[in-house]
Structure 1
Amino acid sequence: MKRSKWIMFLLVLALTAAACSSTSGSEATTTTATGSGASSTTQATTTTAAGSGASSTTEATPKPSLEGVDLTLWGWSSSDAENSALSDLVAQFSADTGANAEFQAQAEFDVALQAALASGAPPDVFYVDSFKLPDLADAGVLAPVPDGALSDPDDIYPSLRNAFTFNGTWYCPPKDFSTLALVYDPDVLAAAGVDVPTTWDELEAAAATLTTGDVAAIAAGDAQAGLTMGVEYPRWGVFLFQAGVALTDDAVTKITLDNDAARTALQFVADQYAAGSFIKPQAVDAGWAGEAFGQGKAAMTIEGNWIVGYLQDAFPDKNFAVAELPAGPAGMGTFAFTVCYGVAEGAKNPDASWAFVEYLTNAKGSLAWTNAFNVMPARKSVSADWIASHPDLNAFVAGSAYAHRWGFVPGFNDVVGVFNENAEGIVDGSASVDDLITKVTQAGEDVLH
């Protein structure tokens, strides 16, 4: 499967497949606890990583006693709403199993995890972003998924398993996935007589019409911008996709920005910031785009499913709706993001760690989590239930048909850093689109060759 398209993500297809996908060729007998449902496999099964290029025979292993076992889960803190929802699920795990489990959000996650891994005292379970997976797997600090540790692995979307498979080895199961979409205030658009934009031209016109003041006035809460968006590749990249290009080729062997399509996309974004109709959230005293949107400092933003729970928690009176991202000259394009629950190689209590992961990612745990925080489930068997419960979020689901994977190769983080640095330069006037293309291309060549 090419990196550029995660067609397998499309949850709508699961509406017709969900009835039969729950068995996934597995003949395991399971017993389920209350709450999110920790499964205990009592019969050996054979599973194949569909689409992952790796197959394994899974001998069912009895689940360890977790009574009194201390377990920690580390993740980054995206919002109080996410922290609270995950803490509730972890608390249910403790109640159901007798373990003493705790979710600990790390303000500086990457720094904290690197230090913990280096010291030989990692948390029992921790987030692994698909972008970081190649580096961690290549460094040998991640334990592969043991045979029989997880129930019904074929129920997980193959493309999501692929995201956490490196050199043929599957390292961790996804907790969920999200796509980027256009989040907007329907009341503000209606008052301004603006339709939801569906093309770049319409987006440019809408953002200009909806912008009612300069940055100082917006920061003071006396005006609004048309759109707020982070100055970074995970947001600007969607415009490249919509222009028919990407940062790299599908095999991630070379940078592919030195062309007219990429220049058109990047200049389009640069022009909107220069006009003042796009703003970066930090310029108006907001920590991220979701906060700026919630505060009414912008009429639109480009964000993922995670913004839904955040807005409902932090801005419960905020009216918002979601639409697919506007199409560019080459059509539709967005990103798909996913995170897994990883266990360190040489973990102090691997059986308990994997039992914890199983609880969080089996069908019941997956549905409990994604219903609580409005991200999309990684399992086919629960997708129909999720879609039925979230009809207003269909734009996120639709995006999965043409989403591009967030992930590259070991060491590529430096290249994305150069992109982000030069994107900031474009916004503040110290760099040009050609500067970004030149410097990112050189950084990419240094990493890829």
Structure 2
Amino acid sequence: MVAGTALTGCGQQRDPGVYTVMNSSTDESYHRWDAQAMARCGERLGVTIEQQSVPAAQVMTKALRMASSRSLPDIVQFDASEMPTFAEAGGLVDLRTLGLSTEAVPEGIVDFGSYKGTYYGAARSVNTLALFYDKDVLDQVGVEVPTTWAELRQAAKKLTQGKRYGLALSAGGAEDGVFQFTPFMWSNGGDETKLDGPRVVEALDYWKDLLADGSLSKSTVNWTQADVNDQFMAGNAAMMINGPWQVETLNTKKSLRWGIAQIPVPEPGADSVGPLGGAVLTVPDTGDETREKTAGRIVACLAGEKEQLTYALNSWMVPANARAAAVWRERVPELDALADQVAAARSRTAKLGAGWPSASLALQSAFQSALTGQSSEAALRRAQQRATSGN
């Protein structure tokens, strides 16, 4: 579908002073923060910037439909895992040709917005996963914050009491589950290029061990990351794997004293390698070079150091710009472990590019099979076949 779509051509007359950004900021808070940032950048650049927000799952579909009718917006904010699909079809402009610099952006975050070495997407902020824990519960049970797989398994067992599980995570048949599996797969030396490799099998076996111990709820195969947060806040889990987008909700429960740490690793001293999450601002190739240049200036403003810091402090995400991230660490020291986790994180599409969705879908199916009885080895062997064949 992508290859057969004509992605260029502006197709319709546009108001020269009005520019449109399509994003997935349908949440009231995010929509408001984006509107405020666009108003500030619009005033600075002497243009009007209009926000068009659609559900995250519809951004790619809508962008393709608009491309075929030659009505693309000036800027599209894609989830970084989806951006390579649009870039592969030749639908995006190299941001460096529009004057955007990556000087203060860490290499991993540049890769996060790149496809085959070309920088198409500027991130304002990024996120990853961390281990959240209930300080009071760990203190009551006498459990230290775990740093290794062995410690996590032992701690989760001790913390599992009554209706409370030691750990909550998402292993559902959706991207949430894959996002949560990558820290275990990558930190163990496995990767998405060989889903049935021994290191990936070990990682999935570890999840199975936690489930067999009774430390995870059997419902984990159905939970989204939002469900995991609900369980943690309700006191049904002493620890959880989740991301900073939950902080605003966590802080609404004043009696909950929570902390975060890096996700435990297989062996002491190993790097905790999690997934970079978030969105990137891109400029579609509309064929109108004048508008594309102005769109590039808008992206540069929205992804600039000052706006990044404002956005990150609102959303609890980590600024993509290294200088802004340093200030962010000082302003929110309670999330310092998250910044450390981001430093070692990597993009899901770094190795497979536009092939990531096939691997993700295959892994989703493997979780459902392995966590409900099938061996990890058999489930992942089938996953590799599916990822390779596309079926």
Unmatched tracts of structure 2, length 5 or more: 1-14, 172-176
Q: CA deviation at 1:440?
A: 1.9
The answer to whether structure 1 residue 89 and structure 2 residue 37 are counterparts is: yes
Q: Which residue matches 1:439? A: 382
The structure in which a higher percent of residues are helix is: 2
Paired AA for residue 210 in structure 2? Q
Q: CA deviation at 1:84?
A: 4.1
Cα distance in 1 between the residues matched to 2:363 and 2:69: 32
Cα distance in 1 between the residues matched to 2:107 and 2:122: 11
Q: Which residue matches 1:71? A: 20
Change (3 A) 1:85 1:440: same
Q: CA deviation at 1:174?
A: 1.6
Deviations 1:312-363 (A, max 9, x none): 3x54553211111112147332323143101221177434432321221111
Q: CA deviation at 1:446?
A: 3.2
The answer to whether structure 1 residue 391 and structure 2 residue 333 are counterparts is: yes
Cα distance in 2 between the residues matched to 1:307 and 1:347: 40
Name the SS of the counterpart of 2:201 in structure 1: helix
Query: Equivalent of 2:275, from 336, 340, 343?
Result: 336
Cα distance in 2 between the residues matched to 1:289 and 1:116: 35
Name the SS of the counterpart of 1:326 in structure 2: coil
Q: CA deviation at 1:421?
A: 1.3
Output the TM-score relative to the length of structure 2: 0.81
Q: Which residue matches 1:209? A: 158
Q: Which residue matches 2:208? A: 270
Deviations 1:186-221 (A, max 9, x none): 1122222222112212211222222234xxxxxxxx
Cα distance in 2 between the residues matched to 1:112 and 1:298: 38
For the 8 Å contact 1:75–1:126, the answer to whether it is kept is no
The answer to whether structure 1 residue 357 and structure 2 residue 299 are counterparts is: yes
Change (3 A) 1:87 1:211: farther
Mean Cα deviation higher: 291-300 or 105-114: 105-114
Deviations 1:104-135 (A, max 9, x none): 14253343334333443333322223322322
The answer to whether structure 1 residue 190 and structure 2 residue 139 are counterparts is: yes
The answer to whether structure 1 residue 172 and structure 2 residue 117 are counterparts is: no
Q: Which residue matches 2:168? A: 228
Change (3 A) 1:282 1:329: closer
Cα distance in 2 between the residues matched to 1:157 and 1:284: 33
Q: CA deviation at 1:389?
A: 0.9
Change (3 A) 1:240 1:193: same
Q: CA deviation at 1:270?
A: 1.3
Change (3 A) 1:141 1:198: same
Unmatched tracts of structure 1, length 5 or more: 1-65, 214-222, 249-254
Cα distance in 1 between the residues matched to 2:22 and 2:381: 41
Cα distance in 2 between the residues matched to 1:170 and 1:144: 6
For the 8 Å contact 1:70–1:100, the answer to whether it is kept is yes
For the 8 Å contact 2:195–2:383, the answer to whether it is kept is no
Change (3 A) 1:283 1:161: closer
Cα distance in 1 between the residues matched to 2:90 and 2:48: 28
Q: Which residue matches 2:362? A: 418
Paired AA for residue 346 in structure 1? T
For the 8 Å contact 2:132–2:259, the answer to whether it is kept is yes
Q: Which residue matches 2:74? A: 124
Q: Which residue matches 1:242? A: 187
Q: CA deviation at 1:235?
A: 1.1
How many aligned residue pairs are there?
A: 362
Cα distance in 1 between the residues matched to 2:309 and 2:42: 18
Query: Equivalent of 1:292, from 231, 252, 255?
Result: 231
Q: CA deviation at 1:409?
A: 2.3
Paired AA for residue 190 in structure 2? V
Q: Which residue matches 1:32? A: none
Mean Cα deviation higher: 415-424 or 95-104: 95-104
Q: Which residue matches 1:34? A: none
Change (3 A) 1:287 1:173: closer
Cα distance in 2 between the residues matched to 1:67 and 1:247: 45
Change (3 A) 1:328 1:354: same
RMSD: 2.9
Mean Cα deviation higher: 270-279 or 357-366: 270-279
Paired AA for residue 328 in structure 1? P
For the 8 Å contact 1:286–1:292, the answer to whether it is kept is no
Q: CA deviation at 1:423?
A: 0.2
Q: Which residue matches 1:35? A: none
Q: CA deviation at 1:309?
A: 3.4
For the 8 Å contact 2:98–2:296, the answer to whether it is kept is no
The structure in which a higher percent of residues are strand is: 1
Change (3 A) 1:439 1:76: farther
For the 8 Å contact 1:87–1:103, the answer to whether it is kept is no
Q: Which residue matches 1:307? A: 246
Output the TM-score relative to the length of structure 1: 0.72
Residue identity over aligned pairs, in percent, reads 22
The answer to whether structure 1 residue 366 and structure 2 residue 311 are counterparts is: no
